[in-house]
Structure 1
Amino acid sequence: MKLLYVFDAYCGWSYGFAPTLAEVARRHPELPVEVVSGGLFTGPRAVPIREFGYVQGANAKISEMTGVVFGPGYERLIADGSFVMDSADAALGMAVLRQAAPERAVELALAVQAAFYEDGLSLSDPGTFSRIAAAAGLDAVAVGAALTAPAARRAAEADFRRAAALGAQAYPTLLAQDGDRTAVLAVGHAEPDTIDTLLEQFASARTGSMVV
């Protein structure tokens, strides 16, 4: 059995889910976690953040529900509304980091979101991912070089297709998979105890009553 975490690095609710994801991973070291990037802000949706008038209100709700803090660096970055969130760039960087240390995908996904939502670093800037790599003890030079390789863009696009194939219609979505059975554990927000309960039910189920 494994977990599938479908998120978007530019999704505030995915950032709010970070503490839950970290706790679930801590409780279940025996379960590998596959991290898949979604394409929330691509194509016509990759526009200045001022076009999304709900952002500040949504962030306040996310903080209230999850306890995460949107850092001053992030607040400065979006202050004039001109910053463009491009999920394709974010997914490309996540794919390269994941390739560098696949067993640390959860840790790296959380670091990517912290870079944006806490430090206010653009996920369209290759330097952001080199910085994350260095902080994680990875080869920052190799990560920087990989960002410009065509394979990285193909990996990001493959993630978008994978997210669609998994049926993820909102971010974040956490699923459990065991052979040909897949169950949704969380969409948007959930507490670790709730996820534990669903995991136990999924692991012990002999029928497809929870399967999606």
Structure 2
Amino acid sequence: MSTSVTYLFDPLCGWCYGASPLVQKLGQHSGINLTLAPTGLFADGGRRMDAAFAEFAWSNDQRIAQLTGQRFTEAYRQNVLGRHGSSFDSAAMTLALTAVSLTEPQRERDVLKALQEARYVEGLDTGSVQVVGGLLRSLCLDAAADRLAAADADLMERHAARLGQARRLMRTLGAQGVPALVVHRASGDRLLGGQTLYGDVDSLIGQIVAG
């Protein structure tokens, strides 16, 4: 019997990008049923990129790179962090993931990885609905791209419910931020903090199945 695990994250979170390799392996494990739960932590916050925030982000990104081996390219530094006045907003990516979850749910984990790499490796503006929609189409996810562009009532309702559920989980379990995992068992839910997502997958599986 597989163990149900929920992954709490925001696609704009650098530490979540750092956790991506382990999340991908976890999702491929036959004994784990992994559900993605975007929290909307950086969605619709109104924050704008400026020189001070860009410097802070780049310094943080270097720590993540050293710990996880994930790439933060010069294209990202110049075209994303260097684009002062642009919005720091995960709303488009988060809504796109919900659209994928409604159209081709089996591909959502791969889309998350593609969105993160589009920002941190390719240096694309993933705060733009048009850019994110184009990325979905490049992945042959036209139905999801159409729904993202239309932002239809059903999509928005399901999206709000999804974020609400993730945020309730965070509050109930006292999660201080993302990334984090929630292990679901008959005896109750258990929170595993982000530090568990930067080691090896066998150690993580051990922590999930323990207790």
Please state which band the TM-score falls in when normalised by the shorter chain. 0.7 to 0.9
What residue number does 1:190 align with? Answer: 198
Equivalent pair of 2:93/2:132 in contact (CA under 8 Å): no
In percent, how many aligned pairs have the same letter?
22
What residue number does 2:42 align with? Answer: 41
What residue number does 2:59 align with? Answer: 57
Residue 100 of structure 1: how far off its partner (Å): 1.9
C-alpha change, 1:151 and 1:124, in structure 2 (3 Å) is farther
- TM-score, length basis structure 2: 0.82
Equivalent pair of 2:11/2:17 in contact (CA under 8 Å): yes
What residue number does 1:111 align with? Answer: 114
Equivalent pair of 1:62/1:68 in contact (CA under 8 Å): yes
Residue 180 of structure 1: how far off its partner (Å): 5.6
Matches within 5 A, 1:169-184: 169-179=176-186, 181-184=188-191
1:5 aligns with 2:7: yes
- Rounded Cα–Cα distance in structure 2 between residues aligned with 1:157 and 1:71: 33
- Rounded Cα–Cα distance in structure 1 between residues aligned with 2:112 and 2:156: 17
- TM-score, length basis structure 1: 0.82
Matches within 5 A, 1:28-107: 28-43=29-44, 45-50=45-50, 52=53, 53-75=55-77, 76-107=79-110
Name structure 1 gaps, 5 residues minimum.
206-212
- Rounded Cα–Cα distance in structure 2 between residues aligned with 1:118 and 1:48: 21
Matches within 5 A, 1:162-173: 162-167=165-170, 168-173=175-180
1:18 aligns with 2:25: no
- Rounded Cα–Cα distance in structure 2 between residues aligned with 1:109 and 1:143: 13
Q: Which amino acid aligns with 1:151?
A: D
Equivalent pair of 2:49/2:86 in contact (CA under 8 Å): yes
- Rounded Cα–Cα distance in structure 2 between residues aligned with 1:55 and 1:77: 11
Structure 1, 59-68 or 84-93: larger mean CA deviation: 84-93
C-alpha change, 1:118 and 1:155, in structure 2 (3 Å) is farther
